Amino acid sequence: MSDEKKQALEAEIRSYVGKPIGPEVIGRDPVNEPMIRQWCDAMGESHPAYLDVDGAKGTVHGEIVAPPTMLQAWVMEGWDMHEGYDEPKNEQHRLHKLLADNGYTGVLGTNTEENYTRYLKLGETVKALTVIDEISEEKATGAGIGYFITTKTAFENQDGEELGSMSFRVLRFKPANPQPTASAAGGEEAVAQKPSRIKPPMGHDNGWWWERVADDGVIPIQRCTSCEKLRHPPRPMCDGCGHQGFDSIDASGKATLTTYTVVHYPQFPGYEYPIISIIVDLEEGERMASSLIDCEREDVKIGMALEAVIHEDDDGFKIPLFKPAS
Amino acid sequence: MPTTLHNEAAIAGIGQTAYSKNSGVSELQLATEAVRAAIDDAGIHPSEVDGLVTYTMDSSDEVEVARTVGIGDMTYWSQVNYGGGAAVGLITHAAMAVATGQAKNVVVYRALNGRSGQRMGQGVSGNIISSDLIHWSWYMPFGLLTPASWIALQANLYMEKYGATSEHLAHVAITQRMHAQNNPNAAMYGKPMTMDDYMNSRMVCEPLRLFDCCQEDDGGVALLITTPERAKDMKQKPAVMRAVTQASFEGQEQMTSFYRDDLAALPEMELAAKIVYEMSGLGPKDIDASCLYDAFTPEILMQLEAFGFCGKGEAKDFVTADSLTIGGALPNNTHGGLLSEAYMHGVNNIAEGVRLIRGESCNQPENVEHVLVTSGVGVPTGAVIFGQA
Ligand SMILES: [Zn+2]
């Protein structure tokens, strides 16, 4: 993604901060014994304060109350609201769709925090207003690069009395190792996947490099935009002048073999052994690790001329490899 | 206040567990057993220890070790990064602590279920999410997944450049295996090796065969560091640090310093050599024995050159002249080293350095005044020269 496109996306997602996701949600049923009983059955909860009229009289509440952790259950809207990204039904869906359309297709619930002001009594109606509270800076995570989105929900009763609050955080991310989608034809079950080589995690400092390999079919070399010094592997600051800005040039692909090893053991799934793993000097002067293909073991010679090929694995992953120069 | 670590600290106690392929106990048990043994060896009480240092890779935290062993108040602790490169780093940190008075008696330790637990030879994998995963990811997709593969790239170029061959590597492996035959604690005790055995071992990452690679073992080692003055009142003859340092050279990476002009050299070891020789006022001719880090045999050849025991490219002739044997010019890894005693991440090599000064090695050469010990090769590393009190 270009800088301008990224800035536009960030400006747009930030415009959602502070917005309610939609109108206030009003519980479809008042706090009632049957729902409490069902919830307690499901949770394995047996406290008399929730279940037994006589037993509850002996508690500090003096009557049946609802378990505090049920708070959200009173205002849940049902399955209809679960999948709403294709046809957004509220602001939260619109925000998620915007990110998904820009490649942030993964979603992970990360944490929930709930505060309970008091116990709910039978007959109370619960109302909830959810606001998009916070969107983080873009973060590099184990799952991939993405944004943490926090929503805050305030719960009240029919008279506007505060009952509690909840904050819920999800990560919207670009999957680091996107899996190819199952065959669209006929919607059959996904075929068992062949193991494939270990993929690089896509972080701030290296993701752009692999994206350029895949999108543009080149080996990019990072270049300082201040002093124009080249560097590989990519790093977030120029070691020559301290400048952080960078662009990249396209390597010609011409290289010489600096050194190599033929890897026999141990053997990892997703690789074909033996592997001729190599270090090359690119014509531009930078050095990189790769592997050598289309070459017999006995023909490998330190100093030999090589040329780059952008190889595509069966799973669609693109990686720059080298072969003897033609 | 001292301005260098020259003669400011000494190792006054060493301790270790049995080495095995399956300890059947926790790494904390191995660590605390080794730490307790080092304290007992020095002849002091655990409550007199006020500092602990270990590897960032170690799983036994300092306070867990302290509580288990009965160490009381502490005023110093730290952890050193970069795998086997940390070994001498541990005693450098401990030496600084005792030299400045920040602590009186510091124990350093490393304990691992390196065979039955997490095996290093199995390499890195995409499942370990850590800050340096991106570093490894410039190598993993290309099949460079194990320490052997990273070292092989450098070793291959070194051997090509200077005409070193498998026979030269075999000399290193066979000599250390021979040493282990006198060390009942060694994993390779009772398993001598011939040139045929070596040549018939399978290729792992060319040019490295199986017997060019160190083992994977379970066990623990600990060392007690104090000042030379305090050491006088303890039970053992101390090994005084004439010089000790950590060393990382420009362009350093962890195992993958492939971006420097000369790949057939170890500039971080040359830096360590320069510092320890300057600090000690000694030179290669003054070193009577060594424990050079030996995760892989070519590392020995390259270190012999880095520390000036022979010229660039001459290590192959140095090792074939039996120089590394007990009666040779530089008896090396007299316990068997990582190749044939155990892979204790280099701390067992420091313990052997101390035994050589005490005169207690299972293969003790005569008249040992000074011993050189190094830590990990291909990583930010370090070196120490021990002398007599
Ligand atoms: Zn610059």
**pLDDT attached to residue A254:** 98
Q: Which residue of A has its CA nearest to B262?
A: A258
CB A146 within 8 A of CB A174: yes
Q: Which residues of A touch B160 (CB under 8 A)?
A: 259, 302
Quick check: is B259 catalytic?
no
Q: So what's the pLDDT on residue A183?
A: 40
Confidence class for position A79, pLDDT limits 50, 70, 90: low
Of A264, A266, A279, the CB nearest to B122: A266
Question: How many angstroms separate the CA atoms of B74 and B104, rounded?
Answer: 10
- pLDDT category of residue A100 using cuts at 50, 70 and 90: confident
Contacts of A321 in chain B (CB under 8 A): 142
R_g (Cα) of chain A, nearest Å: 28
pLDDT attached to residue B2: 76
Least confident of A107-111, A113-117, B205-209, B281-285: A107-111
Q: In CATH, which of 3.40.50.300, 3.40.47.10, 1.25.40.420, 3.90.1200.10 is domain B10-118+217-388?
A: 3.40.47.10
Residue A2, pLDDT > 90, answer no
Annotation marks residue B293 as catalytic: yes
Residue A192 has pLDDT above 60, yes or no: no
Interval A78-101 mean pLDDT: 78
pLDDT at A191 over 90: no
Mean pLDDT for chain A? 88
| ipTM for the predicted complex | 0.89
E strands present in A192-274: 220-224, 230-231, 246-250, 254-263
Q: What is the dihedral of CA B358, B363, B181, B217, to 10 degrees?
A: 40
Chain B interface test: which of A209, A239, A265 (most B C-beta within 10 Å) = A265
Which of the four pLDDT bands, split at 50, 70 and 90, describes residue A189?
Answer: very low
Q: Which residues of chain B have pLDDT under 50?
A: 126-130
Q: Does the CB of A268 have a partner CB in chain B at under 8 Å?
A: yes
Query: Which residues from chain B sit within 8 angstroms of residue A312, using beta carbons?
Result: none
Indicate the pLDDT class of residue A306, thresholds 50, 70 and 90. Answer: very high
Q: Which of B157, B93, B132 is nearest to B298 (CA)?
A: B157
Q: What percent of chain A has pLDDT over 90?
A: 61
pLDDT of A182 over the 70 cut: no
Pairing of strands B51-55, B76-80: parallel
Domain A3-31+66-175 has CATH 3.10.129.10: yes
DSSP annotation of B214 reads -
Domain with CATH 3.10.129.10 in chain A: 3-31+66-175
Burial class (CB in 10 A: 0-12, 13-18, 19+), B331: buried
> Where on the phi/psi map is residue A18: left (φ > 0), alpha (ψ -120 to 50), or beta?
left
Give me the residues of B, 97-126, that contact A with CB < 8 A: 121-123, 125-126
How far is it, in rounded angstroms, from Cα B300 to Cα B291?
10
Q: Is the pTM of this model over 0.95?
A: no
**pLDDT attached to residue B261:** 93
DSSP letter (8 states) at residue A185: G
Best mutation target, A221, A261, A282, to test chain B (most B CBs within 10 A): A261
SS3 call for A127: strand
Return the residue of B nearest to A232 by Cα. Answer: B259
pLDDT in tens, A210-237: 999 999 999 999 999 999 999 999 988 8
Partners of residue B381 on adjacent β-strands: B247
- For the ranges A51-60, A205-214, B272-281, which has the lowest average pLDDT? A51-60
CA distance B371 to B358: 11
Structure token pair of residue B3: 């301005």
Q: Which of A198, A205, A288 sits opposite B134 (nearest CB)?
A: A205
Is residue B262 within 8 angstroms of chain A, CB to CB?
no
pLDDT at A186 exceeding the cut of 60: no
Residues of A in contact with B135 (CB under 8 A): 233
Give the pLDDT confidence score for residue A141 in this predicted structure. Answer: 73
Residues of chain B with Cβ-Cβ distance to A279 below 8 Å are 153, 258, 263
Count of alpha carbons within 13 angstroms of residue B214, beta-carbon side: 34
Residue A187: pLDDT over 80: no
**Cβ of residue B366 closer than 8 Å to a chain A Cβ:** no
List CB contacts of A282: < 8 A, sequence separation 6 or more: A219, A221, A232, A251, A252, A254, A255, A288
| Test the B interface: residue of A177, A179, A198, A301 with most B CBs within 10 Å | A198
**Cβ-defined contact of A259 to B263 (cutoff 8 Å):** yes
Domain definitions of chain B by residue range: 10-118+217-388
Query: Rounded to whole angstroms, how far apart are CA atoms B121 and A193?
Result: 27
Is A199 at the interface with chain B, CB within 8 A?
yes
Q: In this complex, do B137 and A291 lie within 8 Å of one another by their Cβ atoms?
A: no
User: What does the pLDDT read at residue A184?
Assistant: 40
Segment A41-66 mean pLDDT: 89
Q: Do A266 and B156 touch (CB under 8 A)?
A: no
The sheet carrying B218-226 orders its strands as B76-80, B51-55, B106-113, B218-226, B10-16, B239-247, B381-387, B371-374, B289-291
Q: Does A260 touch chain B (CB under 8 A)?
A: yes
